[in-house]
Amino acid sequence: MAFLRFLESIRNPVLDAIMSIVTYGGDEIFFMAIAITIFWCINKRTGYYILIVGFFGTILNQFMKLAFRIPRPWVQDPTFTIVESAREAASGYSFPSGHTQNSVGTMTCLFLSTKEKWIRIVSVALIILVPLSRMYLGVHTPLDVGVAFIMALVIAGLFYPIMKRTDDTPRLMTSILLIMVLVNLLYWSYVTFHSFPADIDPHNLHSGTKTAYTLLGALIGLLAARAIDEKYLHFEVKAVWWAQILKVVLGLGICMGVKSGLKPLLHLVMSEHPATAIRYGLMVFVAGAVWPLTFPWFAKLGKKN
């Protein structure tokens, strides 16, 4: 707690505002926007790489939260204060840091997948600043961010050479996705059948269970979308820059509309978790197989006849 106490002592309104913005670099929405933008506009393999690293990182992170059940810093030490604006998004267990896992994993994938100097500089900056922001805001300890940092680096490093082989061996990608389904089923079994202690944090257990269903639906949607793309679509990602922006903005809007619009309807006929799996599965399928049907049209924009 000594380092957290030091950061607590240097807080001020300006730094609070800056770190509150920086920490969004580890948010799930930021991760999804980066992965989908790359998948649609730059390189499908890199998009898959980020998604796969994010998947394994999320599973491991959620499993460790429920296995170790380490409380947040202000619970460990009631005299410690946090930046209040960060409290709402910091519910549940503390170890390891999910924001750190997302940011370091995603940015490491970007760093390894490009030689563009500015992208690498931004990636390194976020790799350092997002974990720091979690400690500055007071929602994680150095142990929380340190372990998540190392896990993300290891997962991204392990999958980098494997993903490079998928261009020459397309079936390898399908095999990886099937392994992801198996890993997710093992995690689902853990959160469903394991005898957790009576004092387990209910929010974190609910979040961990929801994650299992979310990833299962997303993986099924991704497998279906990949099968259609490999057999029929073979969609290309190239287009002029302003058409790419239009593609991403409209596409993300449609995908989020599918995810949010189905929620009240599905909740009328089934419980929360199966509904979540279906919503995310359909959203991913739309992102990987339906919206790419429009890409030939976007590729024509800005071209002279």
Query: Is 213 part of a structural domain of the chain?
Result: no
Query: Is 298 part of a structural domain of the chain?
Result: no
Query: Is 197 part of a structural domain of the chain?
Result: no
- The tens digit of pLDDT for each residue in 93-111 reads 899 999 999 999 999 999 9
- Residue 304 confidence class, pLDDT cut points 50, 70, 90: low
Query: Is 305 part of a structural domain of the chain?
Result: no
How does the average pLDDT of the chain come out, rounded?
A: 93
User: The whole model's pTM is what?
Assistant: 0.92
State the pLDDT at residue 201: 84
- The tens digit of pLDDT for each residue in 273-284 reads 999 999 999 999
Share above pLDDT 90 across residues of the chain, in percent, rounded to a whole number: 84
Query: Is 50 part of a structural domain of the chain?
Result: yes
State the pLDDT at residue 90: 80
Q: Which single residue is written with the structure tokens 């670099």?
A: 25
Closest alpha carbon to 290 in 235, 238, 239, 249: 235
Q: What is the count of structural domains for the chain? A: 1
Alpha-carbon separation of residue 112 from 49, 120, 238, 290 (angstroms): 11, 8, 21, 29
- Residue 92 confidence class, pLDDT cut points 50, 70, 90: confident
Domain range for 80 is 2-168
- The tens digit of pLDDT for each residue in 216-255 reads 999 999 999 999 999 999 999 999 999 999 999 999 999 9
Query: Is 151 part of a structural domain of the chain?
Result: yes
Pick from 9-18, 28-37, 269-278, 288-297: least confident: 28-37
- Residue 305 confidence class, pLDDT cut points 50, 70, 90: low
- The tens digit of pLDDT for each residue in 170-208 reads 889 999 999 999 999 999 999 999 999 988 888 889 988
Q: Are 217 and 280 contacting, i.e. CB atoms less than 8 angstroms apart? A: yes
State the pLDDT at residue 302: 77
DSSP string, the chain: -HHHHHHHHT--HHHHHHHHHHGGGGSHHHHHHHHHHHHHHT-HHHHHHHHHHHHHHHHHHHHHHHHH-PPPHHHH-TT----GGGSTT--S--SS-HHHHHHHHHHHHHHHH---HHHHHHHHHHHHHHHHHHHHTTS--HHHHHHHHHHHHHHHHHHHHHHHGGGT-HHHHHHHHHHHHHHHHHHHHHHHHS---TTS-HHHHHHHHHHHHHHHHHHHHHHHHHHHIIIII-------HHHHHHHHHHHHHHHHHHHHHHHHHHHTTS-HHHHHHHHHHHHHHIIIIIGGGGHHHHHHTT---
Pick from 70-74, 186-190, 283-287, 291-295: least confident: 70-74
